[in-house]
């Protein structure tokens, strides 16, 4: 299993920008646009994820709308796998399965195409497709939990959920439904 060296960790950490009071007062927004436009940092991260997931015998990477698409699609291409977008409600054109989750005020909803991981979630009908879920950051875990439930609902298996950053103090890990891996703990 690949482990980040101290130097690699510092390259990635140093490329992520903190924006105070965005999108509202009291929030420190972790801005990954400065990681993406830093080729050394982006490559260091993608090399690490590629090494980690090479031996997982995965069939698909599922990325969460919208920053999970960037890391997920890059990783899928490196591993020679298909990529599946988990989208906010109303964006996918074919038959979808949806999952609601609570926000501070009200709720939101994510969707996936019913056949995204093959018919009944299987490519060849013999076993569920093995899926890695990915996003840039896990905070309360509501979004990622809903996405993991969707993978399960369409018949595939979410073998791990991966995040570039985990806001540990929010405690999402304690009740998370799949194995959870985070590159950086904050
Ligand atoms: P949650 O459902 O609370 O785990 O929120 C996770 C989603 O919100 C992810 O898609 C993140 O990109 C985004 N998010 C939540 N908090 C932050 C933050 N402090 N900085 C950047 N993105 C965040």
State CA 163 to chain mean position distance.
Answer: 6
166 carries an active-site annotation: no
Give nearest CA residue, ligand 1 atom 5.
Answer: 139
Kindly list the structural domains of the chain, giving each domain's residue range(s) and its CATH number in brackets, ordered by start.
56-185 (3.40.50.2020)
Using alpha carbons only, how large is the chain's radius of gyration in Å?
Answer: 16
Q: Please, are residues 60 and 81 in contact by the beta-carbon 8 Å criterion?
A: yes
Whether 143 is in the pocket of ligand 1, judged by its Cβ within 6 Å, is yes
Per residue in 68-103, pLDDT (tens digit) is: 999 999 999 999 999 999 999 999 999 999 999 998
Give nearest CA residue, ligand 1 atom 15.
Answer: 139
Whether 130 is in the pocket of ligand 1, judged by its Cβ within 6 Å, is no
Per residue in 39-64, pLDDT (tens digit) is: 999 999 999 999 999 999 999 999 99
For residue 144, which phi and psi values (nearest 5 degrees)? -70, -35
Whether 72 is in the pocket of ligand 1, judged by its Cβ within 6 Å, is no
Q: Rounded to whole angstroms, what are the CA distances from 62 to 75, 97, 170? A: 10, 14, 23
Q: Please, are residues 46 and 38 in contact by the beta-carbon 8 Å criterion?
A: no
Report field, pTM of the whole predicted structure over 0.95: yes
Q: Please, are residues 47 and 4 in contact by the beta-carbon 8 Å criterion?
A: no
Expressed in angstroms and rounded, the spacing between residue 77 Cα and the centre of ligand 1 is 25
Per residue in 125-160, pLDDT (tens digit) is: 999 999 999 999 999 999 999 999 999 999 999 999
Q: Which two tokens stand for residue 150?
A: 């969707």
Whether 159 is in the pocket of ligand 1, judged by its Cβ within 6 Å, is no
**Strands, E assignment, the chain:** 17-20, 28-31, 60-64, 82-88, 96-102, 107-113, 130-138, 157-166, 180-185
Q: Which of 67, 87, 130, 166 is catalytic?
A: 67
What is the average pLDDT across 148-177?
97
67 carries an active-site annotation: yes
Whether 86 is in the pocket of ligand 1, judged by its Cβ within 6 Å, is no
């Amino acid at each position: 299993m690949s482990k980040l060296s101290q130097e690699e960790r510092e390259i990635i950490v140093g490329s992520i920008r903190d924006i105070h009071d965005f999108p509202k007062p009291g929030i420190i927004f972790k801005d990954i646009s400065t990681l993406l436009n830093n080729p050394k940092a982006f490559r260091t991260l993608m090399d690490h994820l590629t090494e980690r997931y090479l031996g997982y015998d995965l069939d698909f990477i599922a990325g969460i709308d919208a920053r999970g698409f960037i890391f997920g699609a890059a990783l899928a291409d490196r591993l020679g796998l298909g990529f599946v977008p988990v989208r906010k409600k109303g964006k996918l054109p074919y038959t979808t399965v949806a999952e609601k989750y609570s926000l501070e005020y009200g709720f939101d909803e994510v969707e996936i195409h019913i056949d995204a991981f093959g018919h009944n979630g299987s490519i060849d009908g013999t076993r569920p497709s093995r899926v890695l879920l990915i996003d840039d950051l896990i905070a309360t875990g509501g979004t990622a939990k809903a996405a993991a439930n969707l993978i399960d609902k369409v018949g595939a298996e979410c073998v791990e959920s991966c995040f570039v950053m985990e806001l540990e103090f929010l405690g999402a890990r304690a009740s998370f439904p799949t194995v959870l891996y985070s590159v950086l703990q904050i």
